Amino acid sequence: MKNLTLNLALLVAAFAPAAERQIVVAHRGASGYLPEHTLEAKAMAHAQGADFIEQDVVLTKDDVPVVLHDIHVDTVSDVAQRYPDRVRGDGRFYALDFTLAELRTLCFTERFNHKTGKPVYPKRFPLWKGDFRIATLEEDLELIAGLNHSTGRTAGVYPEIKQPKWHRDQGHDISSIVLPILRKHGYATKNDLCWVQCFEWAEVQRIRNELKWEGRLLQLLGNGKAKDGTDHDYFKTAEGIKHAAQVVDGMGPEIGAILKPDGSVTDFVAVAHQNKLQVHPYTLRVDQLPKGYDNVQAAMNALFGKAQVDGLFSDFPDVAVRYLDRASH
């Protein structure tokens, strides 16, 4: 009888709901439908019911935080045609080499390969159609606040501080610029709907300890050891997760750290939950499914159901929102 009770308890725990409602994070906005990180993509994500909307943040030459996925600007704009003389020795164009006023002159479009000029996702919004521009972090935050007010539906924000070590090596301290802007717009504590995320462990610690960030904080995870020194594989182990829990409120691994190609899941989420951490993996794409999954429904069944992730980044927030809405009824 004792073993039966124990087995039932384990079964209940395995399928228990996450500590908070499972959330959908609009990855670069509704980037499956409109050019990433444009204000138009953010408005669409809000309309599709995303719980949080992401902002990747880099700096301009004049230290204005702008919303852009990369430190490079040549995969989403016509910078190579407009400013050919600004190319660096590695053949790339960097946002940090342009003032905000100069970046405002660029046309932004769907992501493309900067060497071939071909779209990364051919079935998405057509290249060079429409008139899309770069947005500052403050403009992005103001848009979401405005939509929260006008619609009565509140979406949170999910800024990522991009490559802070690289920025500091270039003479710019991005974290010390971004955090005061978040506080100015009402994002300062864990009661506020804001997650700050970063791949660099040293910077995550600095954000919490030196820069005194009191809001929600998430450690992003890639693979292997990064240039900044972060050992991402270590933070996927039980020891690494426990270590991270001393500083952060959540972990953001790639989906491959959770889903196995055979349809089973790893113990990453279970271990994180044991350490009172939320898990928000990236990135669910309808047009680029995880290895071993032939449809998006199966991937969400595994992530939300089997693994019990607390949230999910998606380029197609409406797909995940509909899934969770159906599951709740």
Q: Is the pLDDT of residue 218 over 70?
A: yes
Return the DSSP state at 70: S
**How much is the pLDDT for 329?**
79
**243 catalytically annotated:** no
* Selection from 211, 219, 210, 212 nearest residue 246 by Cα: 219
**How much is the pLDDT for 2?**
37
Radius of gyration of the chain (CA): 20
Across residues 143-167, what is the average pLDDT?
Answer: 98
**Confidence band (pLDDT; 50, 70, 90) for 229?**
very high
Q: CA 89, CA 99: separation in Å to the nearest integer?
A: 20
Of all helices (H) and strands (E), which one includes residue 81? Answer: helix 79-82
**How much is the pLDDT for 101?**
98
Centre a 10 Å sphere on the Cβ of residue 254 and count the other Cβ atoms it contains: 18
pLDDT digits (tens, 9 = 90+) for 16-61: 334 468 999 999 999 999 999 999 999 999 999 999 999 999 999 9
pLDDT digits (tens, 9 = 90+) for 180-195: 999 999 999 999 999 9
φ and ψ of 75, to 5 deg: -105, -5
Of all helices (H) and strands (E), which one includes residue 44? Answer: helix 39-47
**37 catalytically annotated:** no
Q: CA 113, CA 236: separation in Å to the nearest integer?
A: 31
CA separation (Å) from 138 to 36, 92, 182, 277? 17, 26, 9, 29
Q: By percentage, how much of the chain surpasses pLDDT 70?
A: 94
Q: Contact, 134 vs 103, CB < 8 A?
A: yes
Q: Is the pLDDT of residue 6 over 90?
A: no
Contacts of 58 (CB under 8 A, 6+ apart): 65, 66, 68, 70, 71, 95, 96, 162, 163, 167, 174
φ and ψ of 36, to 5 deg: -55, 140
Token pair in block for residue 292: 């071993």
Q: Contact, 60 vs 95, CB < 8 A?
A: yes
Across residues 201-229, what is the average pLDDT?
Answer: 98
Q: How many residues are recorded in the chain?
A: 329
Return the DSSP state at 199: S
Q: CA 254, CA 285: separation in Å to the nearest integer?
A: 12
**Confidence band (pLDDT; 50, 70, 90) for 328?**
confident
**Confidence band (pLDDT; 50, 70, 90) for 207?**
very high
Can you give the pTM of this predicted structure? 0.93
* Selection from 314, 310, 259, 266 nearest residue 286 by Cα: 314
Q: Is the pLDDT of residue 8 over 70?
A: no
φ and ψ of 243, to 5 deg: -60, -50
Q: Which fold has domain 20-70+134-327?
A: TIM Barrel (3.20.20)
Biggest CA pair distance of the chain: 77
What average pLDDT does the chain have?
94
pLDDT digits (tens, 9 = 90+) for 73-129: 999 999 999 999 999 999 999 999 999 999 999 999 999 999 999 999 999 999 999
**Confidence band (pLDDT; 50, 70, 90) for 264?**
very high
**How much is the pLDDT for 12?**
34
Name the packing angle between helices 201-209 and 174-184 (round to 10°). Answer: 50
Token pair in block for residue 123: 């079935």
**How much is the pLDDT for 9?**
34
The b-or-e profile of 71-91 (16+ CB within 10 A means b, else e) is bbbbbbbebbeebeebeeeee
Amino acid at 307: A
Distance of CA 176 to the CA centre of its chain: 20
Among candidate residues 37, 46, 69, 185, the one labeled active-site is 69
Centre a 10 Å sphere on the Cβ of residue 276 and count the other Cβ atoms it contains: 10
Strand-pairing partners, residue 108, are 77, 132
* 5-14, 50-59, 263-272: least confident range: 5-14
For the chain, domain boundaries? 20-70+134-327
